[in-house]
Chain A
Amino acid sequence: MRDSAIEPVGIVGLGAFGTALANVVATRGGRALLQGDDAATVAGVNEKRRNERRLPGVQLARGVRATTSIAELARETRLVVLAVPSTRAADVARLLGDVLDGRHLVVHAVGAFAGDRRLSEVIRAETCVKRIGALAGPALAPDLAEKRPSAMVVASPFDEVVAVARAALGAPPTLRVYGTRDLAGVELASAFSGALTVALGLADGLGVGAGPRAVLVTRAVAESARLGAAAGADEKTFHGLAGLGNLLVRSSSASSERSADYQAGLALARGEARRDTEGLRASRSAFLLARRLGVRVPIFEALHAVTWEGIPVDRAAARIVESAAAEE
């Protein structure tokens, strides 16, 4: 058990993942301070040691505390993990900007774009914080809660951020945290995997079969890596936890029912209207980025054609299968 006198980890967001992560930290002997607006959830965490609304049935360890006060979070913690939906990220970053200072380290676990921007860009625009990182990977809240072996990657060009985050959040075997300097890569890989999850949902909805599905997964990751490299990231990152890892878990049968992106893909296969999900928004961002950088991305283009241009699915799919195979 670790010394509980060390600084607590601040986690912004009272969702399932944030709560589960706080519990992992506290179970290992550390302390975590959750922050959110929902006073009832905050009271439930502090008094009953439960977050019944978002992580039902899980008894939280003693080291987990919650507060509605963002100022208290800033005062008490140095490492701040942002675990909120991408639609709220800019607003939350703006609030953090009022209370954080240059001493703080901010690591976001928002695996999507905020508008057309990566989350690190949003945090830089809304706060004075420079030491920024991203946490991503196929660690699901139920797995963390049940202490099933999980892994994530933390990325930052600042070695200090990676070291502090790994020390604070890592709790093997429940959660192993790998490190990398490729912040842009982890952010892009994570966001693209949301878009590609939609593509997999679409493919499964059309009943493509195991072989073509495997081809789609493999080529989608390759395309993602090519686009990421053109944008300045490291290709290897896309084959790791933030890219392939995220894609596999988001489209797996265990989590697909929960995954809004996967469900959006299934809906498209049924001929339904486009839904507003993080992955679909990311698919548009990826398409526009590829066009700006002059990168060939048949899968992203086909997805964009179906979701944003109204092209029939069979015609879009034909474009992919008919595209020439180059060197792998």
Chain B
Amino acid sequence: MAKAVRPVKEAENRLIAFNQERDALCAEVKRRVMAARLAAAARGADQSLEYVLNDAAFHEIRRLESGLAASAEKKRLGDWRELARKLGTMPETEKRDRMEALVGEYCADVVGNFNERVYRFAKGVLPAVLAGVLTPQRLTEGISGMGDLPGKVVIDGPAEQLRACADRGTLVFVPTHSSNMDSVVFGWALDRIGLPPVTYGAGKNLFSNRFISYFMHNLGAYRVDRRLRHALYKDVLKEYSAVLLERGYHSLFFPGGTRSRSGGVERKLKLGLLGTALSAYQQGIRAGAPQRRIYVVPATINYAITLEAETLIDDYLAEEGKARYIIEDDEFSSLGRLYDFTRRILALDESVCIRFGSPLDPFGNAVGEGGESLDARGRELDPSRYVTDRDGIVLDDGQRDAEYTRGLAEEIVRAYRGLTVLMPTHLLARALFDRVTEKQRTRDVYRLLRLHTELEVPIETVRADIARLRDTLARRPELGGILPRYAAMQPGDLVNEALWAFGAYHSRPVAEREGERVVVRHLRLLTYYQNRTAHIGAADLDATQAQASETGAVA
């Protein structure tokens, strides 16, 4: 098959048309959610309108009574209680009206906005946006203090292929998520490699900072209220995502759901939003446009140091933290802390790396240079066959689609591992953690935290372990990689880079050099950074050791 020649150009910014379509998008989402719920209600039992409304009322009453809701929201408590009380005797028409009103309210709350002027402004003064500071005086300070941003942030990936796919279909970026900085940093990276801005679901708590909220609201973000757990709200979110994709709006979401508390690379993904890629593709076939493709693009966002690491790891380790699903108050919400972090991380060279992977189709198949779906042996295939009959008609099967999406999720998780970029901080943390746990004969962090002994490792051992880790990554690229400048560095210099980074930002250093040993000062943070390497098993490192011994013996 002849390869299509695609001109290299900046991909079209489809979000420009978004505002004109907003009302139509909302109306379509509302229509679909209501149609699906009414059709399900006809089947009765726990799909009835009463059941769905009761589910919403139950969850909302519980949330509003819990004490975590804002006082303005608590005024709704009476309304919800009244609804719950009346549901048993409410006529069907009234149930339908109530549901429609709720769906309309959720749509209005969710829907985003795109302001091209704001977008151009933000692109031009990104350092200040990253700093989260926008008083005129701080603006000047911010820009002059940031230095050369492109030199600090490394971007890697198949840019030309992604631009070709952006022309042919709709892109859905699904990066790893470790910080609230991610969507801003990622948005900047997209622009740098000639990809269009995306619409994305940002947690509503991010909009609490008025200033950042202004930008998020005007850069295509739509609001996701993660406190709302009931099915009807999730219906609205999923349909909204699907409608956006069908209409060709390139999108971004974090399939891990929230920021990785442990620091590790995501292994289990949420399938709800991910499945909208497939439903949008099927809708395209139904609309007579099977060639309009949906491309899922895995990516990793890698930081030498993470802004919210202390809060996240504490939440992960704290037993009561399991119930605290949404962190409202952390380092990101403090402008001063945010500015300080940005200044420090950008002082480190190549301290942030965004790596884009090759796109996948909604079934998890690889995609070729021209946007065609490929099987495992690189042969072109027609993905519509997975969901149509002999005549090309889409066959509805929710269970089948759920399995396809599960397969897609597996491919994304596999891609994440290979796309992970480990920084010296991660390498040092892993080396220290392995030796400390070996010496203490436990990998149980809680037990280690109760120890009163100083945890230390001889510097020579640390250097050797870091070298072994690096060699493992060189041998096994499917486990991740490191930046070329670190691949060329001596292990001792990697240790120094890591120690410097560890000491540069967090409330106390993660580890420090004392003579010929490295001493652990912050075990929780050490755990956080070493968790980024958790997918690299002891057996992988042992294999490197064995190979090195063999080579040594031969020499």
Hey, which bits of chain A sit against chain B, CB under 8 A? 97, 101-103, 124-128, 130-131, 157-160, 292
Contacts and interface: CB of A to CB of B under 8 A. Distances in A.
Interface residues of B, number: 23
Contact of A101 (B365, B385, B397, B404): B385
A158 B399 contact: yes
B376 A125 contact: yes
B285 to A, nearest CB: 12
Given A128-B381, A130-B404, A160-B397, A102 B386 contact: yes
Interface centre among A101, A130, A158 (most CB of B within 10 A): A130
Chain A interface, DSSP helix/strand/loop, else mixed: loop
Contacts of B247: none
A94 to B, nearest CB: 8
B148 interface: no
Nearest to A103: B385
Given A130-B363, A130-B386, A130-B404, A97 B399 contact: no
B381 A101 contact: yes
Interface centre among B375, B383, B399 (most CB of A within 10 A): B375
Contacts, number: 47
Interface of B: 363, 365, 375-377, 379, 381-386, 388-390, 397, 399-400, 403-404, 406-407, 539
Nearest to A98: B379
A273 B425 CA distance: 54
B386 A97 contact: no
Contacts of A160: 397, 399-400
B399 A130 contact: no
Nearest to A156: B403
B383 A102 contact: yes
A127 B400 contact: no
Given A102-B382, A103-B390, A97 B363 contact: no
A125 B379 CA distance: 12
Contacts of B404: 130
Given A125-B376, A126-B376, A127-B375, A101 B399 contact: no
A48 to B, nearest CB: 33
A97 B377 CA distance: 9
Contacts of A128: 365, 375-376, 379, 381
Nearest to A124: B376
B362 to A, nearest CB: 11
Nearest to B364: A130
For the complex of A and B, the 10 pairs showing the least CB-CB separation, nearest first, are: A102-B385, A128-B375, A102-B386, A128-B381, A103-B385, A101-B385, A159-B399, A125-B376, A157-B403, A158-B403
B179 to A, nearest CB: 32
Contact of B400 (A97, A158, A292): A158
A132 B384 CA distance: 17
Given A127-B375, A130-B363, A102 B381 contact: yes
B381 to A, nearest CB: 4
B422 to A, nearest CB: 24
Nearest to B388: A103
Contacts of A157: 403, 406
Contacts of B376: 124-126, 128
B425 to A, nearest CB: 30
B126 to A, nearest CB: 41
Contacts of B379: 97, 128
Nearest to A131: B400
Nearest to B387: A102
